[in-house]
Each structure stands twice: as structure tokens, then as C-alpha cells.
Amino acid sequence: MKTSFLLFAVLLLTLSWTAPLKAQHGSQRTNPIDVTTFDSTFNPKNNFYDFVNARWIKQNPIPSTESSWRMLEVVDDSVRYKLKKVLESAAAAQAQKDGSSTQKVGDFYLTGMDSAAINKAGITPLKPYLDTIAAFKNKDDVIRFTAHSNLINSTALLASYVDQDQMNSKKYVLYLYQTGLGLPDRDYYFLNDEKSKQIRDEYIKHIIRYFALLGDDSIKAKSHAQEIMKMETGLAKSSMTRVEQRDPYATYNKMTKADLKKKYSAVNWDLYFSSLKLKSFDTLIVSQPKFFALVDSMLKSTPIDSWKIYYRFHLINGAASVLSSDFATEDFKFYSGTLRGIEEMDPRWKRIQELENSCLGELVGQEFVKTNFTPQSKQRMLELIHNLMEAYSERIAGVDWMTDSTKAYAQKKLSQLMIKVGYPDKWRDYSVVKIDRKSFVLNVINCFQFENRRNLNKLGTEVDRTEWLMTPQTVNAYYNPVNNEIVFPAAILQPPFFYPDADDAMNYGAIGAVIGHEITHGFDDQGRQYDAEGNLKEWWTPQDAKNYNQRTKLITEQYNTYSPIDTFHLNGELTQGENIADLGGLTIAYYAFRKAKAENPNDTATVAGLTADQRFFISFAKVWAGTFRPEEQKRRLVVDPHSPGKYRVIGVLSNMPEFYKAFNVKPGDQMYREESVRGKVW
């Protein structure tokens, strides 16, 4: 099922720091930089990114099954092969106790790999849902099915989830959220460049082909596609843009259940909530009021037959990738081929593994960390985090544009930052999930229902501070503003992000920048609006907020000038938070590294002709090596709040005088920016 709703955990926690861990002696460390990988046709003063990475990019073309090939995907691919052994072992296990972790993990994988059984079943597993849609008689039937669609991750007219109240992070609250589209973003329905027009045309053809597979004649299929496009365009027009949604106050619209019923009276809210089997509640958050006003209007004016068409398509569209090969192939052609430029499907084992990570992630993760994460790695990581936190505290104390009162609260927020490394202390309980060897599609549906039910059941319960939003096998990291926490799954703690035995230059430039990036999210344009307890609350003086915005405006304007492909530019407003985090993260990592150098003189030595500072910046640049297919690059410019890797490197380094000194960058060099336009926050 295609739609998956991001649930933002917002937990309250106060963190006390222990004494700092001592670093190893530099003489015991290794230096993994290979100078032969540099491309000397590029001058590092003009294009540092390509100087470090162009040769690697040339030698590592994008595989036919990928839309991009970056260090992130390289590491993720290595994780996939490690997980393959875990899943195959579980699938081959005999006489496992029914309901055991091994039985669930193994049977999910086994049924997913049985393409013959999946092809034979066709759409039979979805027949009860299709029959329900065909029997729609009134808008109550539509609302009831909307709730059921939410539970199986199928695109629906509206969505709901439970999370901490952003203004009272000690409590859970229900959120209503915009959804309902088959294209990746609302902007796809309105962009007028030729590629966007072509995508809309291909989307209509995609819809037509699904209806043909369902047995509709060509005239009906075309008519259905036009109706769906009309409905979705209306929903898109009333949807918030991604930039608008970056304002947490704009999406925080609290109201009572009674007010909700009065404001959007065409929706039978009692039926919707009862269909979700929600516990009793009085208030909720409507994230996008304009969108729900349109939903209300559409329910009044749209014929029932149109809703049958809409839900029939979205049920199939969401499930296609797990259905028989004719549906799965069509899904791949549009969502992977047209939208992302991918030439060939992943081998089946990779596709099933990706889905299993989504469905039974922490069951799989428990096995992954047994052989792929060491106490030594965790200790080294905690040491680095502590050192960056200390450097961050010193930088906050030293900035000249904040008043003492705002600085004091920033220090409080930093000191209460919760840190999670490796894997959860408490694993998720999957005991109620029914997984067997009868039907892969039903196994997937059961998993989605479990996960959505688990989320909705939080309403009225005590906040769980231990929950993770990523699995241990995820190659990524995150900061959660409403929990004021930074989280580093086990899988990211490997080269080129993390070297257990490398010198400080390598680790501070790579994983140090990642750590600093996540910490800085607590003080970026969004994160700074949350207090130490994770509540959306103003703690800046008006003048300090003004000073902050003046500084970040320079960063936004800088990134707006970058054009990664054709005439398409970066959206500095969309990427603002990530760009601030990149710059702040590397700045803090550098100053933590500088302190570490004072404690470990051996780490300051020149290696292979490179100073420690040069190795630091090279390590940072290597992390972002990679390239995108043109289709994927254009897609990301619309939907991704991160800048492409090349601009994450040159954008940050061109703002750092420490980089200028390390590589002797002078006025006239392309990496040089006039001091008056350089971004500097922390």
C-alpha cells in the first residue's frame, strides 16, 4: 500500500550528562582517505565537491534498479545483503512455534517470495474491499470506507493519526491531515513545464491501464481517469504546499469535536471515529482547515458513483506493488520509471525485504543488531556526541546576536536533549500481528492494520518516551522536535559515515557533521520554535528572533541561486531547515574537532600530504558523493527538503572561513563568497 503517514513522536525527557568519555590516542587510529580517488582535473578552490568525488561518481554509475547512487545507497545496499541472510534463515526454519518472531519474519518473507502463488491469487485478496466499494449507496458508506482505507495505508479522502500535542507534549492528541492524491505532491497538478505536463498525461494513462486490468472497457477507463484527475486536482488546489506546512503554527488548529462537526457538517465524524474504533476524546488538531473545507464541500456535491471510481482506483493503486505481476509491473512503470527514471525492478528479495522492514521493522532489527553493532561503536559514538554537545554549548555562549535570556534557555534546551544510539531499549511487541503462509497480501494488510491500530490506540494513554521512529537497520538519523531527541540507528554507524578506529579528522568530518546536523535541527527555523520539553512555545525575544531570521535569510537566498538540472532551481524556503542544519552541524563538528586535536596531538599530523583540517573537510564531502537520474533529481526538487549532495557540500563550505584557511581559498576562487553574504548562525 503506497501511503504511509509519518507519525511525529513528541516525548518529554530531561537528560543529565555524565563525565566525558576519554578519547583513544591518535597513534592507535587509522586514516581511510585514499588520495588516489581525488580528481585533479578539478581545483578544490573552485569545485571542492567534484575534486573529492567526481572520480568515484564516474567509477560508480547508477545501477539500473536505482534512481540515485550515493554513499547512502551504497551503505544501504550492504545492509540489504546482511538482512537477506536473516530473512532467508527465518524462512528456512522448520517447526517454528506459531506466533514466534522467527515464524513471523520467515513466513512474511516466504509468502512474499512466492510469486507463483501471488500471481495465481491476482486481486482475490482485495475482493471484499472492492465489493464494499461497489455497494456504496450514500456518503456514510464513503466515510466508513475512508476510515478502513486509513487502517490499511491506502490513499483516502482524509487521514488521521495520534501523536503528542505539539503545545502539550505530555499528552497524545488526534490529528486530521490532508491526503488523497496519487501524484507525489500537490504541485505536480499545477506545474507547467513540459516534464510536469508529460507526467500528468502519463498518470492518466496509468489510471486507464489499471481500470483495463480490472476489466473495464476503454471508454469507461478513460472516463474514470478523467474523473479521478478532476477530483484530485481539486484536492491538490486546497492542499497546503510543503513550504506552508513548514510553519508549525499554521498546521496547529485545535478545536473541539463539537466544533469540528459544526464546521465540517457534511462529514459524519461520529461514524468516521467509530469506524476507527477510537477511544473517547474531546479535542483534536485539524492540520489544514482549507483542505477539510473542500472535503466537506466534495461530500455534499460529488456523486456516489464518482466516489466508487475514486476508491476503486486508489485501493488498487496502493496495493499494486504486492499484487500479481501485471499490477506490480504497471506500478513500477509509472512510480519508478516515469517519476524516477529507474530502468529495472529490484530483484524480488530486495523488494520484499524493503516491505518487511516497513511492516515488521523491529523484529528484523533485533536480528540485525546481534551481529552488526558493537558496544565499542556505541561508546565511541556517545563520546563524539558529548564532545559536540560541549562545543555547541560554547558556541551558543559566544554568539553576539542573542540576548542572555535567550542564550540561557538555548543552553537549557541543549542540556535536555535526549540521545538514542543503535537500537531501542524496549522492542515493539508484534505478538498480535497475524502472519502465516496463506496469503502475502493479507500478511501485508495485517501488518498495516496492526501498525495503524497501535498508533490510534495511543489516544488517552501515557506518552511512550522510548519509541523510535526509525528501525536499527535504517541508514539515516533524525531529530524529533516535540521530543527534543537525536536518534542514530545502528546501520548508519559504518563507513563512510562512521569509522570506529579512524582518526578524529575522519569521524568529526563525517558522523560528527551528522550529529551536529541533528542537534542543529533543534535550533533551525522550525526546531527553534519548540521549547526544551518539546512544546511549541515562543522562548526567543522579538529582537533575537529578528536577528536569527536575518542570518538565515542569507542561507535561503544562497540556495535559491543553485540550479542542479536544466532551468530547475533549488527551493531555498523548502530546504531552509536542512541547509541551516548542514551549516550549523559542520561548524559545530569543526569546533569539537579542534578541541579534540588539542587533546590528541597525534591526530594533527599531516597524512598523505593532507593536514588534519583538510582531512576533516574531505571526510565531510565524501559522505555526499553520488548522483541522481534526471527524473529523480526533478522529483526531489519538488518534494525533498534536503538539497542535493553537491550543494550540501559547496553551499556549506563556501560559508566557512575555516575551509578557506585549510585550502587557501581567496577572492576570485569559485568557492569564495564575500563575507557580507556568507551565512553564519552558530
C-alpha cell at 647: 550543494
Average pLDDT over residues 191-214: 98
Distance separating alpha carbons of residues 655 and 340, to the nearest angstrom: 32
CB neighbours of 244 closer than 8 A, spacing ≥ 6? Answer: 250
Mean pLDDT, to the nearest integer, of 116-124?
A: 98
For position 352, what pLDDT does the model report? 99
Q: What is the pLDDT of residue 597?
A: 84
**Stretch 193-208: mean pLDDT, rounded?**
98
Helix (H) or strand (E) holding 405: helix 404-415
Q: Is the bond into 496 cis (omega within 30 degrees of 0)?
A: yes
Examine the pLDDT at 142 and tell me if it is beyond 50: yes
Give the CATH H-level superfamily of domain 128-322: Neutral endopeptidase , domain2 (1.10.1380.10)
pLDDT at 5 over 50: no
| pLDDT value at 14 more than 50 | no
Q: Judge whether residue 32 has pLDDT over 80.
A: no
pLDDT band at 2 (very low <50, low <70, confident <90, very high): low
Q: What is the tens place of the pLDDT at every residue in 250-298?
A: 999 999 999 999 999 999 999 999 999 999 999 999 999 999 999 999 9
- The CATH class for the domain spanning 35-59+373-424+468-677 reads alpha beta
pLDDT tens sequence across 624-636: 999 999 999 999 9
pLDDT at residue 21 above 60? Answer: no
What are the boundaries of each domain within the chain?
Answer: 35-59+373-424+468-677, 128-322
| Whole-structure pTM value | 0.93
Total count of residues recorded for the chain: 682
pLDDT of 599 > 60? The answer is: yes
Note the pLDDT of residue 607: 87
Residue 603: its pLDDT value, please?
61
Return d(Cα 129, Cα 312) in angstroms, integer. 9
- pLDDT score, position 370: 94
- Average pLDDT value for residue range 455-477: 96
- Rounded CA gap, 123 and 94, in Å? 30
HEC string for 432-443: CCCCCCCCHHHH
User: Is residue 659 classed as helix, strand or coil in its secondary structure?
Assistant: helix
Please provide the average confidence, as pLDDT, over all residues in the chain: 94
DSSP states of 407-465: HHHHHHHHHT-EEEEES-SS----TT----SS-HHHHHHHHHHHHHHHHHTTTTS---T
pLDDT in the model for residue 33: 82
State the alpha helices, DSSP H only, in 248-403. 257-263, 269-275, 289-301, 304-319, 325-331, 348-359, 361-372, 375-398
Q: What is the pLDDT of residues 527-545, one digit of tens each?
A: 999 999 999 999 999 999 9
Position 24 pLDDT exceeds 70: no
- Alpha helices of 484-574 — where are they, by DSSP H? 504-509, 511-521, 542-560
Write the DSSP symbol of residue 113.
Answer: H
- Which pLDDT band holds residue 4 (cuts at 50, 70, 90)? very low
> Which residue is listed with cell 501511503?
3
Q: Report the alpha-carbon distance of residue 267 to residue 279 in Å, rounded.
A: 19
pLDDT over 60 at 22, yes or no = no
Instruction: Tell me the sheet residues that pair with 536.
Output: 530
The whole-number pLDDT of residue 16 equals 17
